Structures are given as structure tokens and as C-alpha cells.
Chain A
Amino acid sequence: MSAKSAHATNIQRVVSPGGIEAWLVEQHNVPMIAVRVGFKRGAAYDPAGKDGLVNLMASTMDEGAGDLDSQAFQRRLEELTMSLSFSAGRDTYTASMKTLTRNRDQAFEMLRLAMTEARFDPEPVERVRQQLIAGLKREQQDPEHMAYRAWFKSAFGSHVYARNRKGSIEGLNAVTPEDLKSFARRLMGRDLLRIAVVGDIDAKTLGALLDKTFAGLPEKSSLGEIADAHVEAKAVTDRIEKDIPQSVIVLGVDGLRREDPDFIPAYVMNYILGGGGFSSRLTEEVREKRGLTYSVYSFLLPMKHAGVFMASASTKTSTVDEAIKIIRAEIARMAEKGVTEKELADAKTYLTGSYPLRFDSNTKIAGELIGIQLEQLGIDYITTRNGVIDAVTPEDIQRVARRILKPENLRITVVGKDQG
């Protein structure tokens, strides 16, 4: 099919009287508004020894603000039948809010309170800290999580990307309510602020609300940049013993950042290799032909200061080596021979044709708009994106495959029973 953009999505750039910018898509069919707010700093900025600080900040920013203590704040959210939550990504810090149109102004006021007057009272901080620690313990039971954690540790060594963005038990225990209060001011500067609003609201109304809601944030963030990092090209296999019937395999090499000119060709290449579900080579070879797994896939993970290409599969103990062998062979085949014209054409029709599926609800559109802003892809990205994909050639794919895929230097982590 032809590369149509999501033409129904008409983005307005709204600049408030006070100079605060937001991207708005008006949709008046459902009486609700979805808001996403993002800052271009995240958990990677946790101070040394306090890893988990930004996660704890996100998890307690809705636990009391202004005159409302934790329970009063939560009750007020429920009375307004709105939702409000904060999330700590590796490189970003985001807020998500949803409100019915009839409670619009009060809902924005709750967002303002949380962002600028969060209390971080000792009681909720301690309670939520224990919840996050319980969450970390639960993750430690999960072999897939164990494999990814171990892989990142091995790949990034002493760089902050080796850490769990959710923190560690020791790190979380070291964070004080004062840390949270001061870090919120340091992180949430208006220079890093991006806003997406989708739903039953017009530009003029939004403009006034932007000033009311966000003017109280500090003008500038005082967090500097962290260092760039690369995954060393080196063949490493780590095996972590765990008595489970199915082993989890995670492997990877250095990849690309989003701003790399090769990112889109690499994205198309990965779709064909292992990103495209039943249309991917990995699913065909490991699952469909041999029945070795339920789930096999690969992906590119672009971060702000590094990039990785990763693949994963889970299979019973006795077929771990066979699965690794096939995945490695497919990575090698892609690096050596690239893709056929037909594979590329099929990838393009999927990737361009499915793009509008990301824009069929207010909540999803808001998520796309904040992502585009945080990645600095430009307000016209929705209309230009498919053209960039259509321009990718087999030669581009071959070039990026050679550049990224290093079958002889895979870093592999396996969690499961010893096969011996």
C-alpha cells in the first residue's frame, strides 16, 4: 500500500502567553483529554550510591502536594475521576494525565501541584520505597529479567547504563525525602520540558492552562550530561544457573542512537531479521520451522548516550545451544548477504502502512507526540517519517547490517539449568 501518513492527526503548536509550548491534537468525539509531559533527563542521572532516586521520585510525586497529604491527594484524584502518574525512564522523566472534560481545570491544577509542590512526606516515601524494593525482589524471581540485567551489567561495565533504571535495594535505601525534593527542582527545568495534549480542548483554553500549570517550574534544569558509552565488541558468554525448565537467552552488540543517520535503515533491517513477528527470519527459523520457542525476537534500543542491538529467545534446557546457533547464523547471514528486494518491499509496506495504527486513540496519540518531541524528530515527523522508510535501499540495509551485526562478537547471557 502507499505510504500514507496519519493524516487525521493535525498537530497544532500552541505557545502560551508566557512562552510555554505544547503540541495539541484536538479530538472532540470523546469527552476526555490525555496529557503527556516529558523532561529529557531520567534515571541515568541517579547520583552514585542512590540508584533508584528518580524512580522513587516518580513513584512519590503523586503522594501528596501543597496542602494535601498523601491520602488526601489520592482521594482528590479519585473524586475528579482523573488519572495522574509519573514515570522514570532511563533518559526521560514523564507525567501522564487523563481527565474528563468536565474536570479539566481541576485536573491541570492537580498536575501543577504534583510537579511544583510535591511534599515527599516521610510516611509515603518510606511506604513507596518498600513497595519498590518488593518490586525489585519480584523481578529477581523472573529469569527473563535476570538475563537482561546481567547482560546490561556485562555490556556497560562501569557506565550508568549498566544499572537498573528502577534502582537497587541499597540505592533506594540511601535516598532521603530531601534528596527527592531537591532533585525534582534540578531535573524538572522548563528548558527540558515537552508537552503533548490530545482530546476535547481547544488551543486558546490550553494556552491559558499551560501558564497556570507549568510557569512555577524552575527556568533551567541543573543536571549536566552523562558520558557516552559503547558496548565493547567481544565474544562473551555468561551462564547463570537457575533450576527452571526453560532457559532464557539474551544476546547483543553495540547499536545505534536515534539521531544516527543509519537508524531508520537499521530499524528496517531489524524488522526483517527479528522485529517483525511472524514476518521475521528469526521467528521463521527458530519457531516456525523447528518449534524451539514460543518467543524469539530482536530489537534496536536507542538510548541518549548509547545504542544496542539485542535478540532474545527462551527454550527448554536441551535446545539452548541449538537456538543460539540458529540466531547467530541468521545474524551472520544478514551481515553477509543483506536482504532481498521482496523482503525489503514487504517490510516497507508493513512499517509505513501500520503507522496510522499508532494514532487511533487520544492516549496513543499523546504518547506518540511526546516521544517525537523528546527524540527531537520535528513537528512534521508524522508526515515525513514514511518517506524516509520508503527511501531505504537494499544497499543501505547491507551497509548497516555490516556496521552493526557482529556474529563473531556476540555478548550472550543464558539463565537456566546447566545442560551438562
Chain B
Amino acid sequence: MSQLIWNGLFTGSFYALVALGYSMVYGIIRLLNFAHGDVYMLGAFIGYYCLTLLSGVTSGLPALLIVLVVAMLATGLAGVGIERLAYRPLRQAPRLAVLITAVGVSFSLEYGVRLIAGADPKVYPVRLDGQPVELLGARLTAEQLVLVAVAFVLMGALHTLVMRTRAGRAMRAIAADPKAAHLSGIEVGQVIARVFFLGSALAGAAGVMAGAYYGRIEFLMGFVIGLKAFTAAVIGGIGNLPGAMLGGLALGLLESFGTGLTGGEWRDVFAFGCLIVFLVARPQGILGEKAVVRM
């Protein structure tokens, strides 16, 4: 039982990190960024190469934390580049054009990485298989605990950034009314670039964590998690940041319990069944629309 909760929290925190970026981008430019899951994949691969480079110098958790920061910076910049090249030229275009472009960016990232890294799965150089400890009946390692803590710290930092800083207020203002924000002196383009940086950096962090957790990465790993993050964002209320965190964690726990009840092959059925239920019964999500905090 508590093992299921723990597993759910762990995968749920990846989902939440990826869902945050999804939700932020949707909130600010009303785009479902289908390439977002692939930024997560990109993070995992950047982490893989950095860890390989570092392998002689340091290993284990310290190496992982250093690589986490590097991967976040790199994916953040990649996100800014994607926005600059693919989405910004389409700022005035119909939304469908941007959506199709996002699918194109997704393929470009997937097969770009395949071209460089090859199609075979790679074994992650760092595993979270230290000495397991028993905690309330669940077996977990100190490394896992640290990663979940890091995920929560990142989410908390993002929340503070959005709610209590100049940049965050600009983001919320643009999400509410881009034209009025622009006329109030906010450089809309710059703020959108920042949103892409933050969202992509969080996805990159999740990618490295997932690599270390599952131990195996490949170039298509972002596809399903992109859909899961989308599900999480919808469950929480898309465009709503606390909702994305909540939705991610809820989805992780749900999957974990579902798998516990019926076996691993039903995992995705639970996730997407959940998406369908929400789209039919409560399309605005748990915290959507009525929530005070939207961005």
C-alpha cells in the first residue's frame, strides 16, 4: 500500500514537472505544445551524455545533481530556441497552424536525437539503487527521496516566481490580456521566451530524473509522457499552475494504484481513461476556471 503511494508520488512528480511547462505555455499563448514531451526526452539525453563525461570525476547523487542543473539550462535554452524559430513567426497565424507546427517540432526533436544518438535504448549511467530503507512499509532509497524533494523544491520555486516577482506578474498579465499587458509596457515577446525557458527547464529536469529512475532512455520516450502531462494538465485545469502540479501527482497515484490492482499492462488505460472522464464530466479540470490563480 505505502509502496504504491511512494511509486505514485515519484512518477507523479515527473508528470507534474512536465505538466507545468505544458500548462504555462498554454496559459500564455494558448498553444498545446506537443513538442513539450520531447524536450523532456532531450533533457534525458543531455543528462546521459553529461553523466558519461563526468563518470571518471564523480558519480552517484552529486553527479546527478550537477547534471540536473546543466540539463535544465540546456533544455531551457532549447525551449527558447524552439519558440524563436518555430512559434514566434506564427504569432499572428491561426491557432491550428501553430498546433501543426508543434507536431512538426516534436518529430524534428525525436528524429534529430535519433540521428545523433541512434535508435537503440541507452542505459543510464546513474541508477537510484542505493541501500533501500524501509519507510512506513515502503522500500525506497535516499537518492529517490532526494529527487522527489528536488522536484517539489522546483515546483515551489516556480510558484513563488509566478506569484511574487515582476516577471511572474508580467506572465500572469499576458495570460489574461496580451494587448493590455503590452500597452502597460511589458515586452510580451521577452516574457513568452522566459516562459518557454522555465517550462522547458522543468521538463529537462524531469527527463534526467526519469532516466535515473527507469535506468533506460530512448528517443521516443517523450511521446507518451507528453500525452500524460497533457492529461495531468487537463485534470488540474489547463493554464492553471497549482492545477498542473495537483493533476500530475493525482495521475501518478492513480496509475500506481491502478497498476497495483490490475497489473502493469493497464497503466496507460488508467491514465487516458481518466483523461476521457475529465473531458466529459469536468473539462475545466479540478482547479480550472473557478480558480483565482490563472496564468
A and B form one complex = no
Q: Which residues of B contact A (CB under 8 A)?
A: none
